[in-house]
C-alpha cells in the first residue's frame, strides 16, 4: 500500500499562492541556470581545436548541417554522411548555428539557455512523479532540490550536449507511464506515449532499454486485457513510425540497416582493449587522434565501425576474463565516477573525495529504493528498473558521469524520500539515552520507527 501522508486525507481544494506553486519553482530553477550562464560566462567556450568542446562530435555534425553539407563529418575532417549520433539534438544545434553563427558566443548562450529551459522543466515532471508516488510534501522537496542542486545545474549550463533534454524526456516518459497505468488509457494516450518514445530514441537511442519496461509496467497495472495489449502494440507502432524516416535515410545513404546510430562498435572497442584497463582510451578515437581521424576518413564511417566491431569481438573471444573484470570495474565507476587526472588541489589528490561523493549519492538512492519497496509503495518496481536496468549498456563502455544524468531525477526522488522518512526515526542508544529523529522527533501520537 502506498505510504503517502496525504493518502488518508479528504481531497480539499487549496488555493496556492504563486510563491508556493510548482510554476514558481520552475521559474526559479530557470533563472538560477541563466544566472550561472551569465555570471559564470560559461558561454565562452574554449576555442581550442576549433571549438571542439562546443558539442564535440555533435557540434561538428551541426556545423556540417549549418554550412550546407548535410548530416555528416563528426570529426575535424570532411568524412561525408554520418550516423554517428541521433539526429534531434544536432539539428537543433544546427538551427542555432544558422541563426546566431557557427561556434559563436551567442550560439553558445542560446543552446545553453535551451538546455537550461529543459533542465528547469524537469522540476515539473519530477514534482508530478513524486506527487503521484509519495505525495505533495515530498514532491515540493524534490522539485526544490532539483531546482537548486549545483551538480544537476552543471550539465545544462556548461555542456553542449543532449543531456538535459534527454533527462527531461525520460522523466516525462516515466510520468506518462504512471498516469496511463493509473487510469484506463485511451487510444490517444497510447499514441502520445509511443510518439514520445520515438522522440526519445531519436535523441538518445541508449534509452530504448527502458521502453519495454514502461510498457510492461502499464500492462501489469492495467491487466493483460485485449484492449490494453492492443494499446501497447499501437504505442510501439507509433514509436516505429517516428523513428522509421531516419532508419530509411540511413539505409539509403549507407546501403545497410542502421538503427538510428552506428558508433557503438567504436565505444565498445575503446573501453575493451589491452591499453584501456577497462576504461576509455583517447588515443584511438577519431575525435582526438590525428591518425585515427585520417583512418576514419580513408575507410569511411561504415567500414571503420565494422573494423572496430571485429576488434571488440576478437578481444572478448580471446580474453573473456578480462572483459568480465573490466565490466565489473565499469559498473563500480558508473556509480562512483571514473578516475580523473585533474582532481587535485594544492598538490593533494582529491580522487577519493570524488569517488566518495558520487558513491554516497548512489548508496542513498538505493536505500531510498529499498525503503520504497519495503513500504510497498506503488511504483517501486518501476523505479527499480531505472536504477537496475538503465545502466546495463553503460557497464560495457566508458562510464562517464554524463551517462548517469538521465536517471538522476529518479535518484534524487529516492534520496529525498529517504531523508524525508528519516525525520520520523528515533535513534536509541545505550543507557536509556534517546535522540529523536535525524532531523526532528516523530510527530506526537505517531508510532516511532526503530
Angle at 195 between CA 194 and CA 196, to 5 degrees: 90
76 near 60, Cβ under 8 Å?
yes
Cα 415 to chain center, whole Å? Answer: 17
The per-residue pLDDT string of the chain (450 residues; one tens digit each, 9 = 90 and over) reads 445 544 434 444 456 677 679 999 999 999 999 999 999 999 999 999 999 999 999 999 999 999 999 999 999 999 999 999 999 999 999 999 999 999 999 999 999 999 999 999 999 999 999 999 999 999 999 999 999 999 999 999 999 999 999 999 999 999 999 999 998 788 999 999 999 999 999 999 999 999 999 999 999 998 888 999 999 999 999 999 999 999 999 999 999 999 999 999 999 999 998 888 888 776 778 988 899 999 999 999 999 999 999 999 999 999 999 999 999 999 999 999 998 755 555 555 677 888 899 999 999 999 999 999 999 999 999 999 999 999 999 999 989 999 999 999 999 999 999 999 998 776 565 655 555 544 444 343 333 333
Amino acid 431: pLDDT: 55
426 within 8 A of 437, measured Cβ to Cβ: yes
**184 backbone dihedrals φ, ψ, rounded to 5°:** -70, 110
Q: Parallel, antiparallel, or unpaired: how do β-strands 426-428 and 348-349 relate?
A: unpaired
**DSSP annotation of 300:** -
From the CB of residue 11, how many other CB atoms can be counted at a distance below 10 Å?
A: 6
| 430 phi/psi in degrees, rounded to 5 | -60, 165
Instruction: Determine which helix (DSSP H) or strand (DSSP E) holds 440, and give its type and residue range.
Output: none
Helix (H) or strand (E) holding 1: none
CB 225 within 8 A of CB 232: no
Dihedral (Cα; 317, 322, 328, 333), 10-degree rounding: -110
Residue 21: C-alpha distances to residues 25, 26, 84, 325 (Å): 7, 9, 42, 49
pLDDT of residue 438: 44
Separation of CA 64 from chain center: 26
Least Cα distance to 420 among 40, 98, 136 occurs for 136
pLDDT on residue 183: 85
Residue 166 is predicted with a pLDDT of 98
DSSP letter at 136?
H
- The DSSP secondary structure of 33-84, one letter per residue, reads HHHHHHHTTTT----HHHHTTTTHHHHHHHHHHHTTS-SB--SSS---B--S
Contact 204, 86 (CB under 8 A): yes
Amino acid at each position: 500500500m502506498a505510504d503517502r501522508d496525504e493518502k488518508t486525507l479528504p481531497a480539499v481544494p487549496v488555493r496556492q499562492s504563486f510563491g508556493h506553486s510548482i510554476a514558481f519553482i520552475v521559474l526559479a530553477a530557470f533563472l538560477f541556470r541563466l544566472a550561472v550562464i551569465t555570471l559564470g560566462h560559461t558561454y565562452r567556450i574554449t576555442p581550442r581545436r576549433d571549438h571542439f568542446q562546443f558539442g564535440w562530435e555533435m557540434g561538428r555534425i551541426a556545423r556540417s548541417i549549418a554550412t550546407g553539407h548535410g548530416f555528416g563529418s563528426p570529426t575535424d575532417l570532411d568524412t561525408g554522411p554520418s550516423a554517428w549520433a541521433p539526429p534531434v539534438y544536432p539539428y537543433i544545434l544546427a538551427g542555432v548555428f544558422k541563426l546566431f553563427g557557427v561556434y559563436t558566443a551567442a550560439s553558445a548562450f542560446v543552446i545553453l539557455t535551451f538546455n537550461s529551459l529543459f533542465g528547469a522543466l524537469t522540476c515539473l515532471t519530477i514534482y508530478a512523479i513524486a506527487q503521484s508516488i509519495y505525495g505533495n510534501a515530498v514532491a515540493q522537496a524534490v522539485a526544490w532540490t532539483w531546482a537548486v542542486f549545483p551538480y544537476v545545474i552543471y550539465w545544462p549550463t556548461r555542456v553542449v550536449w543532449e543531456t538535459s533534454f534527454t533527462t527531461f524526456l525520460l522523466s516525462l516518459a516515466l510520468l506518462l507511464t504512471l498516469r496511463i497505468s493509473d487510469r484506463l488509457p485511451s487510444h490517444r494516450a497510447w499514441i502520445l506515449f509511443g510518439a514520445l518514445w520515438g522522440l526519445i530514441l531519436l535523441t538518445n537511442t541508449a534509452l530504448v532499454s527502458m521502453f519495454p519496461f514502461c510498457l510492461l509496467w502499464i500492462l501489469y497495472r492495467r491487466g493483460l486485457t485485449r484492449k490494453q495489449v492492443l494499446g501497447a502494440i499501437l504505442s510501439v507502432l507509433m514509436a516505429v513510425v517516428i523513428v522509421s524516416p531516419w532508419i530509411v535515410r540511413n539505409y539509403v545513404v549507407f546501403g545497410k540497416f542502421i538503427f538510428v546510430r552506428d558508433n557503438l562498435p567504436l565505444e565498445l572497442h575503446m573501453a575493451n582493449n589491452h591499453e584501456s584497463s577497462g576504461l576509455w582510451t583517447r588515443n584511438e578515437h577519431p575525435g582526438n587522434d590525428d591518425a585515427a581521424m585520417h583512418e576514419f576518413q580513408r575507410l569511411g564511417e561504415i567500414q571503420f565501425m565494422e573494423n572496430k566491431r571485429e576488434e571488440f569481438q576478437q578481444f572478448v573471444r580471446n580474453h573473456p576474463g578480462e572483459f568480465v573484470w573490466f565490466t565489473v570495474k565499469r559498473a563500480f565507476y558508473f556509480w562512483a565516477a571514473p578516475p580523473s587526472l585533474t582532481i587535485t588541489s594544492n598538490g593533494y589528490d582529491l580522487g577519493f573525495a570524488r569517488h566518495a561523493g558520487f558513491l554516497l549519492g548512489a548508496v542513498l538512492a538505493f536505500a531510498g529504493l529499498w525503503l520504497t519497496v519495503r513500504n510497498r509503495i506503488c511504483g517501486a518496481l518501476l523505479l527499480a528498473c531505472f536504477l537496475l536496468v538503465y545502466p546495463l549498456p553503460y557497464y560495457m563502455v566508458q562510464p562517464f558521469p554524463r551517462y548517469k544524468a538521465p536517471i538522476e531525477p529518479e535518484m534524487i526522488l529516492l534520496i529525498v524520500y529517504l531523508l524525508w522518512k528519516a525525520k520520523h526515526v528515533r535513534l536509541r542508544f545505550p543507557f536509556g539515552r534517546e535522540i529523536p529523529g535525524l532531523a526532528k522527533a516523530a510527530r506526537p501520537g505517531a508510532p516511532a520507527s526503530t
